Chain A
Amino acid sequence: MSEKELGKKLDRCLADSAVKLGAGLGLGIVFSVVFFKRHTWPVAFGLGMGLGMAYTNCQNDLRYNLYVPEQDSLSLFR
């Protein structure tokens, strides 16, 4: 169903952004704790990086419909 695709994309987007944000947060925290003496800026930096990556991924996902769901990749060559 083509109408469900957008929802799926958005779901992916959200999931991805959650993951990226979490990963960014985590890494930020880690870096802040480990390398940067518990400053907050690596956390913000990590969060930002995560958000950015999530945003870009989301955008790319929404923009480029290269992802061919539920189809055999070889079907394009048939």
Chain B
Amino acid sequence: MLRVCLKGANSAARKCLCGNGVPLHPLQQCRSYTSGGSGSSAGKIVAASVLTVGGGVGGTILYANWDPKFRANVEKSIPYSDQVFGLALGPAAPPPVINKPRKVEPVQISSMSEMWKDSKQPKAKEVEKKAEQPDAEGPPAPAPQETLEEASAQVAQILSAIGEVPSVPAPGTHEAEAVPPPAALKGVPAAAAKCTECEHEPAVKERPEGEVAARLAEQDKAEQDLLTSLSSNLEDALGSTAKVTLQAIGAQEAALQAIAQHTRQLREAMEAEAPPDKKSTQWRVLEDALSERSRSVDEAGAAVLKAKAELDKLRGVIDGAKHLKIAAARPSILAAEENLHSMVVDLDSVVTRVQTAQSEAKIVSQYSELVNEAKAQFQKELNSITPEIQANWKGLTGKLTQDDLNSLIAHAHRRIDQMNRELAEQRVREQIHIDSALEQQKLEDKKALEVAVSTALEHNREQMRLEQEKKVEETREVMEAEMRTQLRRQAAAHTDHLRDVLKVQEQELRSEAEEILNSSLMEKETEYRRLTQDQLDSFTLDMNAAYARLKGMEEAIDSHVIAEEEARKAHQLWLSVEALNYTLKTAALNDPTEPLEGAVQAIKESCAEDEFAQALATALPSESLSRGVYSEASLRARFYAIRQLARRVALIDETRNSLYQYFLSYLQAMLLFEKAQEAPPAKLSAEDLDTFKLLSYAAYSLEHGDLELAAKLVNQLKGESRRVAQDWLKEARLTLETKQVVSLLSAYANAVGLGTTMAP
């Protein structure tokens, strides 16, 4: 019926299809027509889309090449775009990361430099110390200069780390600056400050304090040595110069004295009218005085020269000392300079005095010369007049004659007249002479004034310079004192800070030590605990082991008992299953077996705890329990009758079941020959579902003992044949079920038995 309907439907469908006039093809043709008709526009669209996409991609790549941020964005958002970019552009450059620290550093350095500028005074100390040691400065000088930036950065860091303590910045880096080296401090504050400064120069190779102290000591010693040498030099020079100058001054004084004496004596000699013998002694004394004066003048001149040389030497030494620039020597230098100046002044004054005296003496000597000349002239005249009269005419009053006397008197009168005339002339020319003399004197005075002025100016200048230097010295002292106080303050602050830091460090160290102590203590404790625990554990272990063994033995015994029990049960089960099996075998040829109920009951009793066996026992079909099952042999025998019958009604089914069909089916069965037994294939195809084939397959399987397959094949019968074989099928099913359950049970019993026998 269904087949007919299907066929009808197919035919109808086919008709429909044919009626519509090839409905499938036009669709395809339409499709092809549509694709063919709008092919060009589609191509255009495709080309446009390709262009757009390519343009977009190319533009993206170009812009990414130009802007790395955009590239990073795209790479982040679109996966695998970084690979594309890598292919097209190459790897992206790593972005610059280190910017901020660099910017921070220059700011700090500038602030540092400002601080440095502000704190020139305190800073200059170490610079001073270093600057004063040119020979010791060679090696460190270039290194600090090279590490200027490093030192600055390090110092900046240190500053930021330390806080508001205004530390003295890194030294030794500002020799190039034109810093007027102030006077250096000596002693402990210097050393302390130096040490604090040493702390703040880690960038420049951190010299240990000992080394620094050593260097300091060295420097100090060298300075001291130099200073002592200098001072000794100065003192020596000063001493010698003073001596020489004093000598010169003494000589000058002596010369002065001599000159004065000489002039005095000369004047006396000129003016005084002494008896001739006294005169001769006087003249002799005068000569002596003259010689004395000349000698002393020479001596004085030599002494002055020597003194001047010494003074020059001293000046040279002072200049040398000044060049050395040891601040400590300043006062001594100043003192030496002052001394020098005073000596120079004294010398000059003495020299001027001597010169004045000499000029006076020159006047006097000129006067004396004139007088002598006049005397000589007179004498000559007298001699010319009275040649026989000797020079010493005073003692010749008794020997002269009248004529001689008259001539003498006449000569004397003549001479007096001449003298008067000369006097008158002289009086006339007095003014002129005076004027000329005044002029001369003025000139000389001017010269002397100039010289005096120049010397005075020199002296004043020197004085001023000395005063200035003194003032500078004083201010320097004041500044030094101030700096000292500041440094002291700084040192105090530093000591305070050090104290704080030390305190903190102490705390930290203490806590650390405590922690270490605690941890070690804990360790030891845990170690002890562990050891005790180990002991306990081992003891417990032994006890447990012994107990476990005991328990094991007990359990072994128990399990043995249990195993025995199990074995007994398994045996019972097996026995009951065997009984069941045996009942299955009691089937007579055409009668069913005995009802299996008893055996099953026995099984149920024997394995009351075994769920599997119980389930299986209940799985047996009730009919087998009540009625029993047929044996395979009886089923086989029955099958042949059924086969015959099934063959005869092969054509009959629900549609064909008239009597005529019956007759036809009988006829077919009579005429149709098939194999009595045919091996059934692994898979049944549609043509294998023919009744006769099925029956031959079933027969074959039955002959070969495969009731199951035979039942399956018989199950495939259709129509009347099926109805005919229904009962047989039912019986076969029952038998199969029962056999299956029984086999399961026996397998289970065997397994259990095997298990129990395998058990300890």
Contact = CB atoms under 8 A, between A and B. Distances in A.
Interface in A42-78: 55, 58-59, 62-63, 65
B736 interface: no
Contacts of A58: 659
Given A1-B727, A62-B662, A6 B657 contact: no
B734 interface: no
Contacts of A3: 638, 641-642, 645, 724-725, 727-728
A76 B725 CA distance: 22
Interface in B674-728: 720, 723-728
Interface string A9-25: 00000000000000000
Contacts of B725: 2-3
A2 B659 contact: no
B658 A63 contact: yes
Contacts of B642: 3
Contacts of A1: 727
B649 interface: yes
Contacts of A63: 657-658
Interface in B225-252: none
Interface size, A (range): 10 to 19
A2 B727 contact: yes
B658 A2 contact: no
Nearest to B724: A3
Contacts of B641: 3
Contacts of B657: 59, 62-63
B722 to A, nearest CB: 9
A3 B648 CA distance: 12
A65 B418 CA distance: 221
B724 A2 contact: yes
B732 to A, nearest CB: 12
A63 B658 CA distance: 7
Nearest to A64: B657
B371 to A, nearest CB: 203
A53 B323 CA distance: 168
Given A2-B726, A6-B649, 15 more contacts: A2-B723, A2-B724, A2-B727, A2-B728, A3-B642, A3-B645, A3-B725, A3-B728, A6-B720, A6-B724, A55-B659, A58-B659, A59-B657, A62-B662, A63-B658
Interface of A: 1-3, 5-6, 55, 58-59, 62-63, 65
Closest 3 CB pairs of A and B: A2-B727, A2-B726, A63-B657
21 contacts: A1-B727, A2-B723, A2-B725, A2-B727, A2-B728, A3-B641, A3-B642, A3-B725, A3-B727, A3-B728, A5-B724, A6-B645, A6-B649, A6-B720, A59-B658, A59-B659, A62-B657, A62-B659, A62-B662, A63-B657, A65-B723
